[in-house]
Amino acid sequence: MKKIIIFCLACYSSLASAVLEVTILKQAENAFPIVIAPFDVVGNAEQDGSIIAKIMRDNFNRSGRFSASSGNRVFLSEDEINFKAWQSNNTEAIVFGKVEKISNKRFNVWVYLYDTFSMKLLYSDKFAVHNSGIRRISHFLSDRIYDALLGEKGSFDTRLAYVTVVNLSDGRREYSLEISDSDAQNPQAILKSNDPILSPAWSPDQRKIAYVSFRNARSEVFIQYPFERRKTRKLPYFDGIASAPSWHPNGESILLTLSKGGNKDIYSYDLNTEELTRITKDPGIDTEASYSSDGKRIVFTSNRSGQVQVYIKDLKNNKVNRATFEGRYNAKAVFSPNGKLLAMVHRVGKDYRIALLDIKTKDLTVITDNSLDESPYFSPNGGMLIFATNKKDRGVLSVVSIIGGQAFELASKVGEVREPNWSHYLK
């Protein structure tokens, strides 16, 4: 058993923000039933014991792969598990654990995962956790258990970034750039503005967020350091619009759309040397570029054919190939983490929906039936897709699982939510 201490990253933000409402729209079929029992509590840590198990259950229930219940009891040890009974109940696995308060701000947490059919211990661990790290450890353990059960990583110990918009009584709008845990809890507003905020993008190291702001009455790209006090970096002024920031997987450069001389092309801006490299050169609009996770390819939107379509540039041989041929409008594509799929906005008739394209076979699958979907983005394990859509004239975020078709929604009680971005795994 290893022992690590997890500290919560403190966010330097005093700006108010509201928790988004999470609503499960569609329960996945063929989800594995598992039990995540309330943790045994030693000492005065009652609340935290139930919170850990609840966060984990909610995570698994949102994943589309599991249906998690509490089992209605606390398990103290393996001896208390009646494996035969759980087998007849078709429960695949049982998670239980213990929380022990060892000081005002520190807890010890034990966790055990048993396979009910093999009756074997699949995973166990012990952690010392700081008070502020209770949520973090719940997501971290969810990832470990997800991995132990499916053989693939979860996407729970990650963060979201999004923009909320509230109409103020004086007619102005308040835009708020927010970050939250992957379950939309623990939201923090890191920037508020009366001017539009667009395209937030987490840096690969989770320390920075690039975004587009109109605070100077034109689109410009900024980088915010949410965990450092009041630190913002503005990229230099480029002629025309600067927009659509997207990080290189190594975090050292950023793809941008710049309209030097009015012609919108993709550029790479090196954050260390401050050098600008042109990536595309075409008289049409080239924008919405992003890297594959290995950094070897760039996908972008272009109207060079006369239609808005998606293209892939291979950075090894500098060849640009059109990726989409179905439909007259395909835009804002992103690579899946394994590089095999593209998620994009695809026009069907008059509707703009999210579609997945298999890059090799060119098979395109429309996975939503809304009319104004935007900004798809994969979870770092590729299992989920978050995007913005409109429900009853209001912007909300929707998350679907690629397997199982689980769908849930994140909505603001007071305004709209848009421009989602999913971080990589936290470090």
Partner 1 sequence: MLTRNLLLVLTSVVFLSSCSTTSDDIVEKADSLFKNITGQPDVVEVEDRTTTDEGDTNSSTVESSTEENIVVADSSSYTSQNSGEQSNSSTESTSISSSSDSSSSSSESSSSSSSESSSSSSSESSSSSSSGSTSTVNKVTIIEKSPLDKLKDTDISFTLYFTYDGFDIDEDSTKEIIKHANYMRDNPRARLRLEGHADERGTREYNLALGENRALSVQEVLGLYDLASRIDVVSYGEEKPISNIHDESGWKQNRRVEFIYE
Extract the tokens encoding 388: 């913005």
Name beta bridge partners: 36: 95
What is the smallest separation between the CB atom of 175 and partner 1, expressed in angstroms? 9
Q: How far apart are the first and last CA of the chain?
A: 20
Q: Does 217 bind partner 1 (CB under 8 A)?
A: yes
The answer to whether 183 contacts partner 1 (rule: CB under 8 A) is no
CB 315 within 8 A of CB 335: no
Counting Cα atoms < 13 Å in the Cβ hemisphere of 198 gives: 20
Q: Is 268 among the residues that bind partner 1 (CB under 8 A)? A: no
Q: By C-beta, is 236 or 405 nearer to partner 1?
A: 236
Q: Which of 67, 155, 219, 292 binds partner 1 (CB under 8 A)?
A: 219
Q: Where are the beta strands (DSSP E) in 226-378?
A: 231-234, 242-247, 253-260, 263-270, 276-278, 286-291, 297-302, 309-314, 319-322, 330-335, 341-348, 351-358, 364-366, 374-378
Instruction: State the amino acid at position 400 in one-letter form.
Output: V
For residues 393 and 58, what is the distance between their CA atoms, to the nearest angstrom? 28
Residue selected from 176, 199, 368, 421 as contacting partner 1 according to rule CB under 8 A: 199
Q: Which two tokens stand for residue 20?
A: 């988004």
Minimum Å distance from CB 232 to partner 1? Answer: 20
Residue 33 near partner 1 by CB under 8 A: no
- Name residue 334's beta-bridge partners: 343
Residue 266 binding partner 1, by CB under 8 A: no
Contacts of 125 (CB under 8 A, 6+ apart): 1, 2, 110, 111, 141, 144
- Taken in order 37, 427, 164, 266, is the CA torsion positive or negative? negative
Instruction: List binders of partner 1 among 320-379 (CB under 8 A).
Output: 329, 331-332, 345, 347, 352, 371-372, 374-375
Among 33, 196, 249, 251, the residue binding partner 1 under the rule CB under 8 A is 196
Residue 194 backbone zone (phi > 0: left; psi -120 to 50: alpha; other: beta): alpha
Residue 287 sits in the site that holds partner 1 (CB under 8 A): yes
Closer CB to partner 1, 250 or 307, in the complex: 307
- Taking the least distance from each CB to partner 1, the nearer of 95 and 212 is 212
Q: Which residues, numbered 401-420, are part of the site for partner 1 (CB under 8 A)?
A: 419
Q: Which is nearer to partner 1, 37 or 312 (CB)?
A: 312
Report d(CA 400, CA 175) in Å as an integer: 25
Q: How far apart are CA 290 and CA 249, in angstroms?
A: 10
Q: Is 284 in the site for partner 1 (CB under 8 A)?
A: yes
* Options 59, 257, 292, 423; binder of partner 1; rule CB under 8 A: 257
Distance of closest approach, residue 301 Cβ to partner 1, in angstroms = 6
Residue 240 C-beta: closest distance to partner 1, Å? 7
Least separation in angstroms between residue 398's CB and partner 1 is 16
**Which parts of this chain interact with partner 1 (CB under 8 A)?**
196, 198-199, 212, 214, 217-219, 240-241, 243-244, 257, 259, 262, 264, 283-285, 287-288, 301, 303-304, 306, 308, 329, 331-332, 345, 347, 352, 371-372, 374-375, 390, 393, 419
